[in-house]
Amino acid sequence: AMSSDPVVFVSAARTAIGSFNGGLSTLPAHELGAAVIREVLRRAGLAPEEVSEVILGQVLTAGAGQNPVRQASVAAGIPYSVPAWSCQMICGSGLKAVCLGAQSILTGDSSVVVAGGMESMSKAPHVIHMRAGVKMGEASLQDTIILDGLTDAFYQYHMGITAENVANQWQVSRGEQDKLAVQSQNRAEAAQKAGYFTKEIVPVLVPSKKGPIEVKTDEHPRHGSNLETVAKLKPCFLTDGTGTVTAANASG
């Protein structure tokens, strides 16, 4: 039966956001997911047995093994009897998982849902289709980050080209993009230094030859970002002189 009770968030957490091939790059996505699941249950005062369902968004699943979300769920100590599954809506995947979790509760299917997203770009493999072999000539490996995550399937545009198209359509100048990018970086730096992210981040232990390393700080913010440096970068998607999107203003 449909539930008339409001759906509520009882706890939330995340790992730090590691840079590409950075501090978290050796861990598969499901281990990052498991670390956060364990922590949100602890914060909510819930036992793993009380969870009815686990729904996580994930885009780059190639090579991650069967049902990575179930791998995360089981690794977090949630019983085998609890269903766990993923949804895929590119960048909207994690948010869609939260929506699906709320719907599951509203319809009476579930009472306690763990919902969110997990991703590891660093672990995404390169692929090649070899089922029928290669008759003649060379064969190339495709990067699944670009193939499955960043290329529009209908027009074969890279996400950066979409940004250029939008900038052109709405007349968003290079200067405006650079200004916003620098402001974003400066704000992230200020928030990081003030400790605003600390309470939402779950420290993750990453094995290394010298023993476990604790990763608990976002690696993407570039401290000391300024307009002078950012303005010097060349556009990286359109190189014909009309481009406005650079490595600095494209990156979140």
Give whole-number Cα distances, 181 to 19, 158, 243, in Å. Answer: 17, 20, 16
Share of the chain above pLDDT 90, in %: 97
Give whole-number Cα distances, 125 to 31, 33, 54, in Å. Answer: 17, 19, 25
pLDDT bin (cut points 50, 70, 90) of residue 3 is confident
pLDDT value of position 251: 81
Cα atoms found within 13 Å of the Cα of residue 220, Cβ hemisphere only = 15
112-162 pLDDT per residue, tens: 999 999 999 999 999 999 999 999 999 999 999 999 999 999 999 999 999
pLDDT value of position 252: 60
- The Cα–Cα gap between 93 and 59 comes to 7
How much is the average pLDDT of 174-199?
98
Share of the chain above pLDDT 70, in %: 99
How much is the average pLDDT of 190-196?
98
Rg value, the chain, Cα: 21
15-33 pLDDT per residue, tens: 999 999 999 999 999 999 9
- The Cα–Cα gap between 126 and 142 comes to 5
Q: What does DSSP say about strands 142-143 and 126-127: parallel, antiparallel, or unpaired?
A: antiparallel
If you average pLDDT over every residue of the chain, what do you get?
97
Q: Give all domains of the chain, ordered by start, each with its CATH number.
A: 1-150 (3.40.47.10), 156-198+220-250 (no CATH)
206-245 pLDDT per residue, tens: 999 999 999 999 999 999 999 999 999 999 999 999 999 9
- The Cα–Cα gap between 107 and 109 comes to 6
Cβ atoms of 16 and 204 closer than 8 Å: yes
How much is the average pLDDT of 90-114?
98
Distance from the first to the final alpha carbon of the chain: 42
Type and span of the H or E element at 113: strand 113-117
Four-residue CA torsion sign, 100, 33, 147, 85? negative
